[in-house]
Amino acid sequence: MTNHIVLYQPEIPQNTGNIARTAAGTDSVLDIIRPMKFEINDHTVRRAGLDYWDKVKLVFHDSLEEFLATVPDQRYLYLITKFADTTYSDADFSDTSVDHYYMFGKETTGLPEPFMRANPEKCLRIPMTENIRALNLSNCAALVTYEALRQQNFAGLEKSHTYAHDKLK
């Protein structure tokens, strides 16, 4: 079982870099659907991801259709949008026998509206006030990914950490 963080045509390099760091820290795959407004080798993306890029399982897709063709079971594709009735924490991500895909849209316009309208059962929202248009993309990716991992009992992740000096005793 693998969790996939899917970015649809990302526009802000720093967000993608931060999400790459989340992907590396959670052993998730980072799927990016092109086109992008920047290159992964841009200084700002590398800086935001720090020195973890070699730990990121990065997969590029040239279109939404190409990406969808790689998803073996569309029941485990979740579209994260503010235009949904179901809250992300009400979704069931607990099945560890399948891959889960959490798709996030462009920072400026989100996911394509026709795609969301055709798949309302896949749409999940993160509750927020009406004081803002949206939460930061990298924060949203972390929220949903960690909720899924919580439901999966944090499979594959350290649940506690020993300080280096404790290991020396």
Sheet holding 3-8, edge to edge: 57-61, 29-33, 3-8, 100-104, 77-80, 123-124
Model confidence band, residue 45 (pLDDT cutoffs 50, 70, 90): low
Q: What is the pLDDT of residue 78?
A: 98
Question: Would you say the pTM of this structure is higher than 0.95?
Answer: no
Peptide bond into 35 cis (omega under 30): yes
Average pLDDT score, the chain: 91
Residue positions forming the annotated binding site for S-adenosyl-L-methionine: 80, 105, 126
Tokens matching residue 52: 């973890």
Q: Which domain holds residue 20?
A: 3-167
Total tally of structural domains belonging to the chain: 1
Q: What is the CATH number of the domain that holds 35?
A: 3.40.1280.10
Distance CA 136, CA 158 (A): 26
Model confidence band, residue 159 (pLDDT cutoffs 50, 70, 90): confident
Residue positions forming the annotated binding site: 80, 105, 126
How many other C-beta atoms are found inside a 10 Å radius of the C-beta of residue 112? 15
